[in-house]
Amino acid sequence: MNFHFNEEEQEILDMLHDYAVKEVAPRAHEIDEEEKFPMEARNGLAEMGMMGMYFPEEYGGAGLSYLSYIAVCEELAVHCATTSVVLSAHESLCSWPIYKYGTEEQKQKYLTALASGEKLGAFGLTEPGAGTDAAMQKTVAKDEGDHWVLNGSKVFITNAQYADIFVVFAMVYRDDYKEKPYTNKDISAFIIEKGFEGFSVQGHEMKMGIRGSSTCSLYFDNCIVPKENLLGEQGKGFKIAMTTLDGGRIGIAAQAIGIAQGAINETVAYTKERVQFGKPIWKFQNTQFQLADMQAKVDAARLLVYRAAQAKQDGEPHSHLAAMAKLVASETASDVARRCVQLVGGNGYSREYPFERHMRDAKITEIYEGTSEVQRMVIAGWLGATK
Ligand code: CAA
């Protein structure tokens, strides 16, 4: 496989690197410490055309490759994991399903505003009783002739407080649901606007890591949704959610390797300065061997991430590839970030330094958009079906 960025993409990645070093990295500590949403970066990325990197220009996107978008998720996470997830929840989880399943009118109305960065997107699948078991949706959408009425709630929704447009999943109401219980074939997807009657965003999760990202609950209290806001075919919502997450997981895997790379870079720099027993601790073989092992593992994980991204870009099956990439990248990120804290010692544990933040940020990559156990289920499902 040849992971290739053309000249224009490389220029954009170089520009993004400079931007991240100058504008994203210096704010990462404050974003974490004060649970501050990275509004400057959200706006800066929009100005640079990065809120819709891989969508066609006719829909407000930049028309670049999916692989270059994944490289951007990674680069942002090197400096600030919060900023990276704001972008990936917006692009992978909200814009992509509208691009893939939306009508021309929906694309003109919603995707154009999302891809240009004018509006921010979010994705509402998880409920209090439907986390890993995503098919157990309790939110219900009732067909009322000329509109839908939604009732229910969603939890742990990334970008929620600042989002304008939400892709939300619900069971379409049937009179006979008591005799014939709902299944995943009853789930449909809907496009919800922030201002819809009966819709509200509430609460704010206080989190261990990615503390600047907005994570809230969504409430639908007789929420009126126009008929034309059904996304994709009725009853195909579960497949829409799963295929969306196949892409989202590649973005989170990229975030994970970015976090790990950031931890390694900063640990190398720190150990070159820190003197103990008369020499920089970098000079000790334990330091070098540990960091060498970590870098090799991060590069191995990166290859899995780029392989999954390339497969998605080429329109090839990639559920299992995305699951492998996320499983390995997220577990590598947690391991690397923890080992970097240990190498740095007391200052690794101090909130004045970035090392412990990387450790906290890394953990969520093993949980959201499908836990490591979910990734194993997906990989095992593929293994059982093909080997
Ligand atoms: N692509 C297309 N179709 C798929 C699919 C995929 N990737 N995965 C499953 N399907 C289809 C199956 O083919 C099957 O179709 P048929 O019924 O027609 O045969 C149907 O969906 C049901 O499949 P399963 O029986 O495998 O489904 P399941 O109920 O056993 O669930 C699961 C499987 C993998 C556990 C799934 O529920 C899952 O991924 N759970 C985790 C959900 C998740 O990742 N949530 C994160 C939410 S977003 C977030 O984290 C927050 C944020 O904002 C960042």
What DSSP designation does 146 have? S
Q: DSSP string spanning 222-261?
A: EEEEEGGGEESSTT-HHHHHHHHHHHHHHHHHHHHHHHHH
- For ligand 1, mutation pick of 93, 216, 239, 316 (most atoms within 8 Å of CB): 239
Angle between helix 319-344 and 372-386 (nearest 10)? 140
Which atom of ligand 1 lies closest to the CA of 381? 26
**Residue 212 in contact with residue 161, Cβ under 8 Å?**
no
Is a pLDDT exceeding 70 seen at residue 29? yes
Contacts of residues 197-203 at CB distance under 8 Å and 24 or more positions apart, as own/partner, are: 197/223, 197/224, 198/149, 198/150, 198/222, 198/223, 198/224, 199/150, 199/223, 201/157, 201/160, 201/161, 201/163
Summary mean pLDDT of the chain: 97
Q: Token digits for 306? A: 């780029």
For ligand 1, atom 46: residue with the closest CA: 369
Q: Which residue owns the Cα nearest ligand 1 atom 15?
A: 239
Closest by CA to 48, choosing from 109, 150, 116, is: 116
* Candidate of 242, 321, 330, 378 to mutate for ligand 1, largest count of ligand atoms within 8 Å of Cβ: 242
Q: From the CB of 156, is ligand 1 less than 6 Å away? A: yes
19 within ligand 1 shell (Cβ under 6 A): no
Residue-level pLDDT at 2? 67
How far does the centroid of ligand 1 lie from the alpha carbon of residue 313, in Å? 21
- The pLDDT tens digits for 268-319 are 999 999 999 999 999 999 999 999 999 999 999 999 999 999 999 999 999 9
Report whether residue 183 contacts ligand 1, using a CB cutoff of 6 Å. Answer: no
238 has pLDDT over 80? yes
Ligand 1 centroid – CA 378 distance (Å) = 9
Q: Tell me how far apart the alpha carbons of residues 251 and 268 are, in angstroms, rounded to a whole number.
A: 26
Q: Is the CB of 135 under 6 A from ligand 1?
A: yes
Q: Which atom of ligand 1 is nearest to the CA of 158?
A: 53
Which ipTM did the prediction report? Answer: 0.98
- Is residue 1's pLDDT more than 80? no
Which percentage of the chain shows pLDDT scores above 70? 99
| Residue 135 Cα: closest atom of ligand 1 | 29
Residue 367 CA, closest ligand 1 atom number: 50
Per-residue pLDDT tens over the stretch 91-121:
999 999 999 999 999 999 999 999 999 999 9
Query: Cβ(364) to ligand 1 under 6 A?
Result: no
The Cα 30–Cα 357 span in angstroms is: 11
pLDDT in tens, 123-132: 999 999 999 9
Q: What is the pLDDT of residue 140?
A: 98
Using pLDDT thresholds of 50, 70 and 90, give the confidence band for residue 170.
very high
d(CA 111, ligand 1 centre) in Å: 24
Please give the pLDDT value at position 3: 80
Instruction: Please work out, in degrees rounded to the nearest 5, the angle formed at the alpha carbon of residue 179 by the alpha carbons of 173 and 184.
Output: 50
Identify the pLDDT of residue 4: 82
Question: Average pLDDT for residues 316-335, to the nearest whole number?
Answer: 98
Ligand 1 geometric centre to CA of 320 (Å) = 12
Question: Which atom number of ligand 1 is nearest to the Cα of residue 123?
Answer: 53
Question: How many angstroms does the Cα of residue 185 sit away from the middle of ligand 1?
Answer: 12
356 CB within 6 A, ligand 1: no
Query: Is there an atom of ligand 1 within 6 Å of 132 CB?
Result: yes
Beta carbons of 256 and 74 less than 8 angstroms apart: no
- 331 tagged catalytic: no
The catalytically annotated residue of 104, 179, 369, 373 is 369
With CA atoms as reference, report the closest residue to 216 among 162, 168, 269: 162
Distance 186 CA to ligand 1 centre (A): 14
Distance of CA 213 to the CA centre of its chain: 11
Q: Give the Å distance between the CA of 134 and the centre of ligand 1.
A: 7
Distance CA 293, CA 271 (A): 16
Closest-CA residue to 85 (of 167, 157, 12): 157
Separation of CA 265 and ligand 1 centre (Å): 36
User: Maximum CA pair distance of the chain?
Assistant: 79
Q: Could you identify the residue written with the tokens 């499908």? A: 370
**0.90 cut: is pTM over it?**
yes
For the four alpha carbons of 170, 175, 181 and 186, in that order, the dihedral sign comes to negative
Give the burial string for 66-85 (b: 16+ CB within 10 Å, else e). Answer: bbbbbbbbbbbbbbbbbbbb
**Across 224-242, average pLDDT:** 98
